[in-house]
Structure formats: C-alpha cells, structure tokens
Structure 1
Amino acid sequence: MSAYQIHPDAHMGRVQLKVSQIERSIRFYRETIGLTLLSQTSTTAEFGVSGSGVLLGLEEVEQAIVLPQQSVTGLYHFAILLPDRVSLGTTLRHLAASGLGIGQGDHAVSEAFYLNDPDGNGIEIYADRPRSEWQKDAKGEYVMGSDPVDVQSLLQLAGPWNGLPAGTVIGHVHLHVGNLPAARAFYVDGLGFDVVLHFGGGALFVSAGGYHHHMGLNTWAGVGAPAAPANAVGLRYFTIEYPDAAELGAAVSALRAAGIEVTDTPEGPSALDPFGNRAMLRVS
C-alpha cells in the first residue's frame, strides 16, 4: 500500500464527454443547463462559466451508440457544484420549466438534483451545506442519506435566470466500476484519495482535504461489468487538478510506484483505472 496521500487542495476539473450529435448537445448544455459556450468546432465544444476555465468538453463520435443505463463501467454522473443555495433554487426553477424528468436527494451534506443529457449521460447539480453542519458516524465516515429536498424553500430563493453563476465548478465525478477492491487500489492506494464513506455494500466515496466526496465508485452496473466500447457515448476522461507542478509530479510518481501505467498526453499525464475510466492529471 502506498504511503502517498493526495494534496488536500486537489479537486476535480474538466470532464470530457462523448456525444452522438454535437449541435443537440451544445443546445442542451447552453440552454437547459446554463453553461457558457467557450469554443466549438464541427465536432467539439467547450463550456465553462464566467471567470472559469473549461469545465466540460464535448466531442461527437462517429457511429455513436447509446448503451442501456447501468450496463457497463464508466460515467454514473458528473456533478456541477453551485456556489450557494440561492443559485440552486434559481437553477431548479429554470430546470423545472424545461419539462425534463428531474431526480432529487437531500444528502445531509448537500442538496442535489439529477437529470440526463440527450445521450443519457448523468448530471448532478448541487449545492453544499456548510462544512460545519456535516456529521460523521462512530467510524469517522460522513453521514449521508437521500431524503426529499425542501423544494419549496429553494424555489422561494430563486432569482432571475442568467445561466450558471461565476463560482460554479465540477464538484465530483461518480463512476460505475467493476469491483470495489480494484477501484480502491487505484483511487486510494494509487491516487491517494481518502476513504470518507462506504455507501451500502456497493459504493465507496473518496476525497481530498476532508471533502464529502470528489469521487464516487459504485458497482451498481454489476460486479464484473464490462467496459464500454470506444464508440459508446459517455465519459472520455475526468480531470484531477493539483495546486502546483511539484504535487502533480508526486501524484505521477505515486501511481507509477503502485504499478499503474501513466501516459504523457498533450493534456497532461493520464492513467486508466482497471475498468477503462481515464483520469487526466494537471495543475490548476
């Protein structure tokens, strides 16, 4: 087991998705979700918010296929973290007007809403409660549940809709994996995340710096679920951002010491987990 522990200021960055129809996805993420389109080509697009870098990248794949939900490893959802509860209420009112199906959950540490993009890629939009209100159990793990959200009090906070606000970030990424021991070996022993919650018998939450989770890892697609083929819509990669080059170098060294192959790419060092999920590592 590696002694490496991820830097407490590490956090999630850009999420890159594969889609089947780029123009349809651009309309959805700009008009329904409220992200700002930063750049586009005939087959790609990049989104952020005011003052941010790229939070979401899209790429259209040829002969794209959409697989049944929870049938392969890969993306369960990526989570857009809003800066405050007012922003969540404003966004909720906008989403409700879209007519899309929206799931919800009061997770004690946060309030969250769930929906899918046109290709079925899962999205969570949430706001955290203050850290001072987060509770831990006797084992030192965060207490999280999935109670109904107080929707009415959120809607009462709603202000004018102008898209997602400055300060919006990618809060976490939740993945389907094939088994939890191998996932733990990669994300905890390799990447150095801390375990913060065992959720039932089929999910593990890990984080840096005491956050409630930067990564969710679950076997809800089935233990031993296969990886998706290359032309399936879904996750191309997610990004972990480090505070400086020294911390990035330490992370790469720890992965290699754990026997995990690290590939240098134009976007930065990259590693595949045992289930085909790609982690891109970069400096914030």
Structure 2
Amino acid sequence: MNFHRKPITFVDHVNIKVQNLERSLMFYQNVIGFKIFDQTENQANLTTDGKTVLLTIQQPKDVIPKKQRTTGLYHFALLLPQRVDLANIVRHFAKIGVQFGSSDHLVSEALYLADPDGNEIEIYIDRDPSEWNWKNGEVAMTVDPINFEELLSVGNQEGWNGLPKDTFMGHIHLHVSELKKTEEFYTEGLELEVVNRFGSQALFISDGKYHHHIGFNTWNGVGAPAPSSNSVGLSSFTLKLSNEEKRNKIIAQLNNIGAFVHEENGSYMTLDPSGNRIILKV
C-alpha cells in the first residue's frame, strides 16, 4: 500500500500539547510503545524507527487543561503495518489493564484510547484496498464491533515490543466549526478529495483514493470556537507534499481562496477555517 509516500499528499507528523511532559512520556513509551528521538525541557519528539519523528509532545508555559466544545484534535491515528501487530497491542493493553474502545470500519479495524490529558488516539490496521467498497466516488465506512475472538487468533511468539518501526501516522481527525468552508479549504486549497460524507456532521478526505487522510466533524457544535493557544490539545499537524512545485501550487490556491499562509525561514504554515494549524512540508 502506497498511501503514505510520494506522490501522495498525507499527514506524516502531529504536534500535541500536554500538561506534564514527564507523565506523558511515561504513557507514550510504556502504554503506546514510542521511543524518544530527542528531548528538551518542555518538548519531546517520538519515533518508532529512530529516524522519523511521528509525534511531538510539548508542555506550553502556563498550560491549561483541555477545553471542551472547541475545535481541534478529535484523534490522531497510528497505522500499524500488520494485523498481528493489532492483535499484539490488544494483548498488551489487556496485560497492563488499559481500557480502550474499538470499531470495525470495513476499511480498517481500530482501537481508541486517550492519553493522560484527554488527547484521543486511534491505533489501527487497514484491510486490503481490494476489500474496500467504493460507490459513486465514496468509500463505505461504518462503526461495527471488532470480532476479537477472530483477531486474537492471529499472533506470534514475540508478543508486543512497542510500536513496529514501520508504523505510520495514518490520519488525523479534527473537530471543526462547520463543514462547508472546511471542505472548500481542503479541496480547493489543499487539493484533497472528499471520499465519504457521514450524514451532515462529518466528512472524510484523502489523496490517491485512500479511505481518509483527514476526517472532520462538528460534534462539538456548529460554530465551536478555537481553544486558547496554551490549552492542551492540537498544536499542529504536517502535510507531506511530493515536491516544491506542488507546494507552490497549493500556496497559490490557498491565497486565491483567501486562506492565511505564513512563511518563515523557508517553512510554510496555514490555518484552516477552524484555526487548526497545518505545516506544509516537502
């Protein structure tokens, strides 16, 4: 599957804010299975392969708890390479007594849990794209129970040894204030494609016919405000673009629709209509 490499546009990194860095590091290492790539007094970069940073956690000055009913992170989603990895992390969670939710989405099987600050996490595996059901340009997704008896029949003798090195940041799902301007920003500005409409309250978009690289919902309320900058939650996420030409084209398109784009030392950042911060990276 090539949904998370060139020439596809995909989310490759997420930056979140927490109240206590050391507490969060304990969780992300011992429960989720990340390794520390590097660390400062108020920030840590986390990796699975020792080379690529998938997640950054930072403790802002004067940090305040996660605000409810705001825009921002619904969850970030870690994509495991094989189904056996999902079975092994289920056993790992059971062994250490971690509670989690779960869903069979037809295109994938997913586990859900939150970090100590309430930042939501999905850990999932994809079914083979040949099993995805497309109709009129939309992919079928649902919320069914996982068959754990069947899942746990898969396994190996090694068990859980942390996140596999070829884990990806599979997608991100965001709370937004409304869907119409959000859709315009991500399709006309960032050149992504709507692949599923979940009623009138959620929308899923992707590049290259993936089931979704980004999801949006208005479940925190239409017109929900952005959280304060020192609140626990999403700091930013990074969209990986195939080349400089693609980035220049996207920046021009964002300018054409009146979106905010900021350049600093060769790095480009934009804000979606709900205030979610996006780094545009080649």
TM-score range, shorter chain: over 0.9
1:50-106 CA deviation, whole Å, 9 max, x = no partner? 15411000110123222354x100000000001111111111211222322201000
Tell me which stretches of 4 or more aligned residues in structure 1 moved more than 4 Å.
none
Say which SS state the counterpart of residue 89 (structure 1) adopts. helix
Shift of 1:266: 4.9
* Alignment correspondent of 1:94: 92
Letter of the 1:135 counterpart: N
Alpha-carbon distance change, 62 to 163 in structure 1, aligned in 2, over 3 angstroms: same
Alpha-carbon distance change, 167 to 60 in structure 1, aligned in 2, over 3 angstroms: same
1:145-190 CA deviation, whole Å, 9 max, x = no partner? 0101111222222332111112101010000000000111211121
Identity of aligned residues (%): 45
- The answer (yes or no) to whether the contact 1:267–1:280 under 8 Å persists in 2 is no
C-alpha separation in 2, matches of 1:48 and 1:162 = 14
Counterpart mapping for 1:55-134 below 5 A: 55-69=54-68, 71-134=69-132
Letter of the 2:97 counterpart: G
Structure 1 length as normaliser, TM-score? 0.93
Counterpart mapping for 1:259-270 below 5 A: 259-266=258-265, 268-270=267-269
Structure 2: runs of 5+ lacking an equivalent? 1-5
* Alignment correspondent of 1:142: 139
1:171 aligns with 2:170: yes
* Alignment correspondent of 1:180: 179
* Alignment correspondent of 2:256: 257
* Alignment correspondent of 2:149: 152
C-alpha separation in 2, matches of 1:248 and 1:92 = 39
What is the RMSD of the two structures over their aligned residues, measured on CA atoms?
1.5
C-alpha separation in 1, matches of 2:50 and 2:123 = 19
C-alpha separation in 2, matches of 1:273 and 1:244 = 21
Structure 1: runs of 5+ lacking an equivalent? 1-6
Higher mean displacement: 202-211 or 144-153: 144-153
Say which SS state the counterpart of residue 222 (structure 1) adopts. coil
Counterpart mapping for 1:33-48 below 5 A: 33-48=32-47
Say which SS state the counterpart of residue 79 (structure 1) adopts. strand
